[in-house]
């Protein structure tokens, strides 16, 4: 793996205009109020240095001084440890494990079938049905707390928010009775950090 130039003073995020995984990282960076620069990657014509920094030649890839890190969950965890305010991951081991299990479920059951190659129509349909039923089932939770892991924003919310934003283009709708879940979504979408994380292509999704 290539070593990034130490001359770069700002973090650099290799992103793309509508990548759901890069959107997660942009949301966290904005929530942390970090200064960073974006290299907008055309996935049909990727820059040569991306493959040198990331052996999988994928976005998102974050460069911070002498470190290049890829995979959205790893990047989000790194950012929370490196810049702990505001905290997005709990401190105690049990809560941290619960958050990581939630992230694993999001990625395996929902994000992979919807946003990664190699999945059939039935798997995509099942993922969409699971998302709809799970969000409807969370209505009672959101009637009592503001976010997925209590009353403070966590990395779980940052991870799922880009998918929630894409629900109209994915043809996923909430049942009318899930008002508290809709309020949760609106609460996140109304955050200034989330608004700043949106690219022009993502803004056009709603």
What is the C-alpha separation between 29 and 102, in angstroms, rounded?
21
* Contacts of 50 by beta carbon, 8 Å cutoff, 6+ apart: 14, 41, 57, 58, 59, 61
Average pLDDT, the chain: 94
pLDDT tens column, 31-48: 999 999 999 999 999 999
pLDDT (0 to 100) of residue 59: 98
Residue for token digits 């999704």?
205
* Domain regions of the chain by residue span: 11-82, 93-191
Determine whether domain 11-82 maps to CATH 3.20.20.70. Answer: no
pLDDT tens column, 110-134: 999 999 999 999 999 999 999 999 9
pLDDT (0 to 100) of residue 6: 39
pLDDT tens column, 168-205: 999 999 999 999 999 999 999 999 999 999 999 999 99
Question: Dihedral, CA atoms, 25, 26, 27, 28, nearest 10 degrees?
Answer: 50
What is the C-alpha separation between 18 and 85, in angstroms, rounded?
27
What is the C-alpha separation between 168 and 205, in angstroms, rounded?
7
CATH number, domain 93-191: 1.20.1050.10
What is the C-alpha separation between 186 and 165, in angstroms, rounded?
10
Element (H, E) at 84: none
What is the C-alpha separation between 66 and 2, in angstroms, rounded?
9
**Band of residue 5 on the pLDDT scale cut at 50, 70, 90:** very low
């Amino acid at each position: 793996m290539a070593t990034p130039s130490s001359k770069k003073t700002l973090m650099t995020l290799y992103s793309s205009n509508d990548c759901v995984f890069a959107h997660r990282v942009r949301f966290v960076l904005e929530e942390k109020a970090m200064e960073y620069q974006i290299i907008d990657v055309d996935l049909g014509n990727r820059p040569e240095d991306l493959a040198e920094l990331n052996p999988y030649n994928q976005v998102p890839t974050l460069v911070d001084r002498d470190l290049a890190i890829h995979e959205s969950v790893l990047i989000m965890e790194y950012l929370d440890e490196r810049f702990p305010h505001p905290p997005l991951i709990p401190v105690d081991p049990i809560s941290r494990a619960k958050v990581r299990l939630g992230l694993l479920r999001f990625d395996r059951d929902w994000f992979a079938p919807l946003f990664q190659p190699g999945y059939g129509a039935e798997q995509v349909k099942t993922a969409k049905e699971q998302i709809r039923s799970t969000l409807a089932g969370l209505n009672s939770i959101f009637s009592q707390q503001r976010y997925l892991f209590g009353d403070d924003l966590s990395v779980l919310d940052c991870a799922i928010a880009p998918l929630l934003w894409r629900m109209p283009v994915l043809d996923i709708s909430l049942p009318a009775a899930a008002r508290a879940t809709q309020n949760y979504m609106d609460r996140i979408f109304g955050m200034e950090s989330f608004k700043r994380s949106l690219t022009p292509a993502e803004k056009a999704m709603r």
